[in-house]
Amino acid sequence: MPVVSVGMPLGPGCSTCGYCGPLGERSSTETSFKKAGFIASQLSCRVYQKMIYRGWRRSGTYCYAPDLRRSCCPQYTIRLDAIAFKPSRSQRKIINRWNHFVMQGHKSEASNLLLLQGISSSPKLPKSEGNASKRDPPNLSLSTSIHAAESDFVSSNATARHQFKVTLEPSTYSEEKYALYLLYQREVHHDPYNTPEDFKRFLVKSPLINEPIPYTTSPPDHLPSQYGSFHQMYRLDGELIAMGVIDILPECVSSVYFMYDPKHEKYSLGKLSAIREASLAREIHDAGAITMTSLAMGFYIHSCQKMKYKGGYSPSYLADPEKFTWFPLADCISQLEKFRYAAFVHPEHSLEGPQDPGEGPPVPVSEELLDEVMVIYSMQQGAISIIPINLSHQWNDEYNREEILSCVNALGDELAREIIFR
């Protein structure tokens, strides 16, 4: 039986922009707008996949679509083609520096090249390596170098200074994870005020319902068997030094959050995690789940220097903020430089400052569509009865109706039919 997706509409909203706020270059009074939002009770991975590619994101169970046209720092959905991804010179350096540290410790100055030659003959590498190597000569394939220093991949005749392990586990709470979160928030974001409940709400709870990944071969042990929300645990000599929150979806691995112990700051673990997540998508694809092709890197914010690093992974694409078709990032740059809000399909819709042109004209929703958008009428002993939204009591309330319509518009016709409102 297909997984049912259920959400409670919250309508549009706005908040102080976090990208040009007190720590940014501009004033702290600027505003980030949301077109729509809802609290998801549960979502199928297939539905959430489509949402991601229509500009939505989740924070815990709260799902939202930013309003790029009205926001001071528009958030463009960015997707890296994980199959065609080739780490740049500086990204390869980040991989090699970390591998070098794990294998040799801090002080050794031995050449990275020698190191990688020494450990590239691991017998435990995934089967796909042969093809991948042919694709990327003369460099090592992405997954070979990303796993090169992991204790489960290092060949038995190589001796590593440190034991490095990366594992995927379900998105659940532990004291250890929370302690890392507190440390990261305090030291990196200068935010000492957090509770276990904040951590759970933001990074543990997820509306995604796990579903099996349809591999056509039996995948290596380190790959997940299901789509869903995961914590990727990075352990050095047993200690949790970093954690990625990721959603594994039918077409992409989606990066939700990454936190690390600041004592390893100089190894750029955040940048390393994006390479690792791209490699994960590629390995899932190579094991036969062929729809998996991309790393969804969240939002690209051209106006925010700190977030521009996402553009350094190539080849990547931005979603058009109106039609949600993909444009190579390189082709978008001149428009992003020229306009505050850049529309790629309809460049004539692009806007220069000031920040907020106000709400656009109301988008008409057809009666046919409203007949097919469903709302929960009653829930009794596990049985749910649903009715068309325009027959519901919510529809008679103007405020509720606005909330629902904003969700229907931001989801688009196809998704609006697939999510049951409550």
User: Which contacts (CB < 8 Å, 24+ apart) does range 137-142 have?
Assistant: 139/92, 140/116, 142/85, 142/86, 142/87, 142/275, 142/278, 142/279, 142/282
CB of 30 or CB of 198, closer to Zn ion: 30
20 binds Zn ion (CB under 5 A): yes
Residues 79-98 that bind Zn ion (CB under 5 A): none
Q: Are 255 and 246 in contact (CB under 8 A)?
A: yes
4, 30, 288, 349: which one binds Zn ion (CB under 5 A):
30
CB of 68 or CB of 140, closer to Zn ion: 68
- Half-sphere CA count of 372, side-chain side, radius 13 A: 13
132 binds Zn ion (CB under 5 A): no
5, 6, 9, 17: which one binds Zn ion (CB under 5 A):
17
Give residue 382's region: left, alpha or beta (phi > 0; psi -120 to 50): left
180 binds Zn ion (CB under 5 A): no
Per rule CB under 5 A, count of chain residues that contact Zn ion: 6
DSSP 193: -
- C-alpha 419/C-alpha 404 separation (Å) is 11
- C-alpha 189/C-alpha 201 separation (Å) is 18
CB of 72 or CB of 405, closer to Zn ion: 72
73 binds Zn ion (CB under 5 A): yes
Query: Where does this chain touch Zn ion (CB under 5 A) — which range of 58-66, 71-79, 314-322, 363-371?
Result: 71-79
CB of 19 or CB of 199, closer to Zn ion: 19
Q: Which of 169, 158, 142 lies closest to 234, judged by CA?
A: 169
- Smallest distance from Zn ion to CB 342, Å: 15
CB of 30 or CB of 187, closer to Zn ion: 30
- Smallest distance from Zn ion to CB 30, Å: 5
* Three-state SS at 53: coil
Query: Where does this chain touch Zn ion (CB under 5 A) — which range of 30-38, 39-47, 154-162, 176-184?
Result: 30-38
6, 12, 19, 166: which one binds Zn ion (CB under 5 A):
19
213 binds Zn ion (CB under 5 A): no
CB atoms within 10 A of CB 88: 11
DSSP 335: H
Nearest residue to Zn ion on Cβ basis: 17
Binding site for Zn ion (CB under 5 A): 17, 19-20, 30, 72-73
